């Protein structure tokens, strides 16, 4: 039962919470010769990275980095990649970098968390592709590998740091039409883009197929969130408002609880508007994730 609601303009904010999880993350700094090749590299390395339910990492661009701030003075971007464990990232990150960044013309890859207590091998693993022709260089306390490739050398840092993050912050918006819902979702993604320490890893930052835990089918760990499916009205207990014909979820991963809370607050304000009937969030009754972001509390704290 939906009770105690706040409003942002005409949009009702449901008294519920988003349930998020402790996950590990790495930050890669990727550089390239120009924006064309940087864009190509980022698109490739962040592909198939929406949910760890089925992907090896939840990964997206955190922010772009000015050439004056990158290690090699070129255009760059910081990427955040989240996984369930250090071991999971130790497998997925070298694979993604080797297949998607070492193959892309002009790129180089650096450790965005050099002071993190835990480090995983990157160049230390990829160097073997050099077939004995690879060379290492130490600058300060950081080691880099130069791997010969067909346009010169692929420069990659020996290791990358792993830190504790928070994944699965979210909002679910409901709107009168799909056009209104899409516009609201895009407002949210645009509002979150400049915020430090967060990513929205799903396609365009938006989730169409929100999920619930479990399924009627054996072996399925997650299935469609039927309570928010407009075509299932009358067949299941719905959480959709009466005039809502479309719902979208925005999932937010962040470097810590504060970053996710700030992003969720910004998301609430960006999503609200004419035709957006309500904003709620996805949770599992508080039984699975240790981080609970209550929508009303986020707005009151602001």
Query: What HEC string does the chain produce?
Result: CCCCCEEECCEEECCCEEEEEEEEEEEEEEEECCHHHHHHHHHHHCCCCCCCCCCCCEEEEEEEECHHHCCCCCEEEEEEEEECCHHHHHHHHHHHHHHHHCCCCCCEEEECCCCCCEEEECHHHHHHHHCCCCEEEEECCEEEEEEEECCEEEEEECEEEEEEEEEEEEEEEEECCHHHHHHHHHHHHHHHCCCCCEECCCHHHCECCCEEECCCCCCCCEEECHHHCHHHECCECCCCCCCCCEEEEEEEEECCHHHHHHHHHHHHHHHCCCCEEEEECCCCCCCCCCEEEEHHHHHHHC
Instruction: Decide: 104 and 32 in contact? Cβ < 8 Å.
Output: yes
Q: What residues contact 31, with CB distance under 8 A and at least 6 apart?
A: 38, 65, 70, 71, 72, 74, 75, 76, 107, 108, 109, 110
Instruction: Tell me, yes or no, whether 78 lies in a domain.
Output: yes
Same domain, 12 and 38: no
Residue 155, token pair as written in the block: 């420069």
Same domain, 11 and 36: no
Distance from C-alpha of 78 to C-alpha of 116, rounded to nearest angstrom: 16
Instruction: Tell me, yes or no, whether 226 lies in a domain.
Output: yes
Same domain, 11 and 74: no
Domain stops at, among 128, 163, 198? 163
Between the alpha carbon of residue 284 and those of residues 21, 83, 219, 261, the distances in Å are 11, 20, 19, 18
Same domain, 170 and 266: yes
Nearest to 36 by CA among 109, 107, 97: 107
Instruction: Tell me, yes or no, whether 297 lies in a domain.
Output: yes
Per-residue pLDDT of the chain (302 residues; tens, 9 = 90+): 445 669 999 999 999 999 999 999 999 999 999 999 999 999 999 999 999 999 999 999 999 999 999 999 999 999 999 999 999 999 999 999 999 999 999 999 999 999 999 999 999 999 999 999 999 999 999 999 999 999 999 999 999 999 999 999 999 999 999 999 999 999 999 999 999 999 999 999 999 999 999 999 999 999 999 999 999 999 999 999 999 999 999 999 999 999 999 999 999 999 999 999 999 999 988 888 999 999 999 999 98
pLDDT at 264: 98
Instruction: Tell me, yes or no, whether 90 lies in a domain.
Output: yes
pLDDT at 142: 95
Domain stops at, among 108, 142, 163? 163
pLDDT at 4: 60
Q: Which CATH number characterizes residue 137's domain?
A: 3.30.70.520
Same domain, 63 and 176: no
Domain stops at, among 107, 130, 163? 163
Instruction: Tell me, yes or no, whether 289 lies in a domain.
Output: yes
Same domain, 61 and 149: yes
Residue 54, token pair as written in the block: 């089925």
Distance from C-alpha of 209 to C-alpha of 202, rounded to nearest angstrom: 10
Instruction: Note down the domain range covering 179.
Output: 6-20+166-301
Same domain, 60 and 191: no
Instruction: Tell me, yes or no, whether 1 lies in a domain.
Output: no
Same domain, 93 and 180: no
Instruction: Tell me, yes or no, whether 151 lies in a domain.
Output: yes
Same domain, 49 and 68: yes
pLDDT at 287: 86
Strands 11-13 and 276-280: parallel
- Per the structure, the count of domains in the chain is 2
Prediction pTM value: 0.95
pLDDT at 174: 98
Distance from C-alpha of 36 to C-alpha of 86, rounded to nearest angstrom: 32
The pLDDT tens digits of the residues spanning 123-181 come to: 999 999 999 999 999 999 999 999 999 999 999 999 999 999 999 999 999 999 999 99
Distance from C-alpha of 202 to C-alpha of 192, rounded to nearest angstrom: 13
Instruction: Tell me, yes or no, whether 119 lies in a domain.
Output: yes
Same domain, 16 and 58: no
Give helix 257-271 / helix 178-192 axis angle, nearest 10°.
Answer: 140
Distance from C-alpha of 63 to C-alpha of 79, rounded to nearest angstrom: 7
Same domain, 15 and 46: no
Same domain, 215 and 255: yes
């Amino acid at each position: 039962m939906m009770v105690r609601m706040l409003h942002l303009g005409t949009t009702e904010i449901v008294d519920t919470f988003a349930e998020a999880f402790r996950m590990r993350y790495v930050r890669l700094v990727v550089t390239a010769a120009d924006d064309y090749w940087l864009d190509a590299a980022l698109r490739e390395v962040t592909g198939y990275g929406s949910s760890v339910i089925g992907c090896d990492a939840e990964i997206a661009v955190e922010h772009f980095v000015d050439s004056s701030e990158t290690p090699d003075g070129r255009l760059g971007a910081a990427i955040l990649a989240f996984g369930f464990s250090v071991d999971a990232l130790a497998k997925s990150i070298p694979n993604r970098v080797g297949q998607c960044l070492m193959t892309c013309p002009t790129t180089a890859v650096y450790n965005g968390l050099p002071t993190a207590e835990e480090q995983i091998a990157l160049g230390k693993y990829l160097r073997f592709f050099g077939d004995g022709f690879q060379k290492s260089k130490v600058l300060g306390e950081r080691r880099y590998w130069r791997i010969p490739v067909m346009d010169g050398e692929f420069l990659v840092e020996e290791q990358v740091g792993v830190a504790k993050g928070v994944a699965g912050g979210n909002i679910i918006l409901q709107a009168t039409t799909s056009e209104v819902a899409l516009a609201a979702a895009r407002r949210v993604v645009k509002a979150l883009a400049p915020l430090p320490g967060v990513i929205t890893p799903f396609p365009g930052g938006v989730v169409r197929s929100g999920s619930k835990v479990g399924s009627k089918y054996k072996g399925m760990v997650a299935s469609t969130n039927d309570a928010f499916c407009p075509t299932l009205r009358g067949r299941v207990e719905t959480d959709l408002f009466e005039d809502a014909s479309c719902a979208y979820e925005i999932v937010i991963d962040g470097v810590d609880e504060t970053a996710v809370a700030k992003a969720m607050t910004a998301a609430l304000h960006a999503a609200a508007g004419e035709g957006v009937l309500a904003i709620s969030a996805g949770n599992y009754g508080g039984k699975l994730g240790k981080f609970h972001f209550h929508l009303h509390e986020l707005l009151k704290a602001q």
